[in-house]
Homo-oligomer: A and B are copies of this chain.
Amino acid sequence: MLDTAPAGVETELTQFFAAARLRASDYGEHYVALWDSLEQASRGGKRVRPALVLAAYAGFGGRDQALVAPVAVSFELLHTAFLIHDDVIDRDLARRGVANIAGQFNDRALAHGAAADQAGVWAAAAAILAGDLALSEAHRALAKLPVDVRTRLRLLDLLDRAVFVSAAGELADVTNSSARHPLTMAEVITTLENKTAVYSFEAPLQAGAVLAGATAEAIRLLGRYGRLVGVAFQLTDDLLGVFGDPLKTGKSVTADLREGKQTALIAHAGGTESWSLIAPYLGKIDLSDEEAERAREHLRACGAKAAAEGLAYDHSRWAIEALEPALIPADLRASLTELANAAVNRSR
């Protein structure tokens, strides 16, 4: 399995936030609080993207931990920025049950005597600005890197593609959710790939490999692996969001149904005769546990569960097949193979 991101990345992030907080203290308590909230937001994750950057870098012989750490930090802060702005778009005031930046500044405004609608403006301002600050540092960490011009331009292009494609995926996710009919399976997969797989898997792996001086062909294969494994992870997430064990995953198994989320399950069901039985449950705000269970039975019976599981396994397998032994070093291949297997074998 991948190593967790080592201490160097945490140190780099801690130093960045300590310096920012010190600078922010010249601009008042609210701005210091904004940086505290941003640091907290960046602490929530599993550091998947840094781990991928470091694995690819080490896998292709990279040894300079001080050089690779800012690249890992760049992709982690890009992720932080996207999550924060995603929450603004979805109007969420909490993430994983804890007040997010908007939620914290909504409370802060009320504590400072602001009216409710004004508190909403504080919340939006804080979250939008925090995302902008994280996004800016993601760019800056790469731009400052002491590497040759060619390497820098290639890293900048990877980051550029990550931002460009993720924005397309995020926009598609929003416009898709207004669709009155189920999406096609191809539309679902493309959105998963664009919104998350490119910036979370493809780009971090390729950045680590570029920095280590891997060949163009190896970098291409890592990109292919990253897109496929990213889709496998998300297909599995969506399965766990309906059929998982909340005690093990920490994820509700009714929220996606209530929201009418357009997943691979729904895309499959939409093409079967069971659709008219399933559709009434989707997007039903007050869906009961019994109704959710009935929706699950229909999704099983029409083959949607099996189809989504099959697709997740296919993507995991295709990802592993992309790791050509002649081009991807054995140690890296072993850990990426393990990661691809783990993507689809999670507790449910």
Contacts and interface: CB of A to CB of B under 8 A. Distances in A.
Interface of A: 20, 23-24, 27-28, 30-31, 34, 81, 85, 88-91, 109, 112-115, 118, 121-122, 124-126, 128-129, 131-133, 135-136, 139-140, 142-144, 146, 149, 152-153, 156, 159-160, 163-165, 167-172, 174-175, 177-178, 180, 194
Contacts of A88: 88, 124, 128
A109 B177 CA distance: 11
Contact of A163 (B126, B132, B156, B169): B132
Contacts of A178: 109, 112-115, 118, 122
Contact of A121 (B90, B109, B132, B156): B90
Contacts of A171: 30-31, 34, 125-126, 129
A124 B194 CA distance: 19
Tell me the dominant secondary structure on chain A's binding face: helix
A143 B142 contact: yes
A133 B159 CA distance: 12
In the A-B complex, list the 10 residue pairs whose CB atoms are closest, starting with the nearest: A143-B143, A139-B139, A27-B168, A114-B178, A125-B174, A129-B167, A89-B125, A31-B168, A136-B163, A30-B175
B146 A152 contact: no
A143 B152 contact: yes
Contacts of A177: 118, 121
Contact of A135 (B124, B136, B156, B172): B136
A89 B115 CA distance: 16
Given A139-B136, A140-B156, A143-B143, A172 B121 contact: no
B85 A128 contact: yes
Nearest to A81: B132
17 contacts: A27-B194, A31-B168, A31-B172, A85-B129, A112-B175, A113-B178, A114-B178, A122-B175, A125-B174, A131-B132, A132-B135, A133-B167, A135-B136, A136-B139, A139-B140, A140-B159, A146-B149
B125 A128 contact: no
Contacts of A149: 146
B170 A129 contact: yes
A149 to B, nearest CB: 7
Contact of A160 (B136, B168, B175): B136
Contacts of A156: 140, 143-144
B164 A23 contact: yes
A164 B128 contact: no
